[in-house]
Structure 1
């Protein structure tokens, strides 16, 4: 039914299917000098928190009519450590730190996005 060459071709194709993940996965979050977190509540910017130069711990409490979220900034990471929403999915990844990552609490309409700027962006914008 299957020949030896068929298994070799299938194995090569399977290995090639992981190539984009290897290339793109290694480049996510690289080359950013300044990272910051944008906290939005109900689609409006609530606060921008610089992460690259942040040392130590800091907490931010967000109270809305939907509920309360407590956000903790620890060194160059940010995370939701306490929420009174029913499912608490927003607390699953403890902390995020790389540009492109996000945390969302849907019941409370709170979103945290990590963004970054690099020196290349400044050069290309002029």
Structure 2
């Protein structure tokens, strides 16, 4: 998600990640736009933003890892582009927690598991 926290509209933004490029335009100040992409390999974000005044900002930020599912928030201000946060969707957190519990139960219960 690209969050516009600058004092002006974003006239265009290009986000490149994992060899894929996405162009967004017309993002008012205080608003956001989102893209959805497939993580095909480990990568980072190349972000190029043009503000309404014509000022351009460019940044290489964040990282993505193949096999992950998440929502990244990229914030644009008048001065810079930053990777603000990453959120793992609730369903993925639930699956990860279940795997961790299963793994913990398996290791804690290993002494009582016997082959018949």
- TM normalised by structure 2 equals 0.32
- TM normalised by structure 1 equals 0.30
Q: Which has the higher strand share?
A: 2
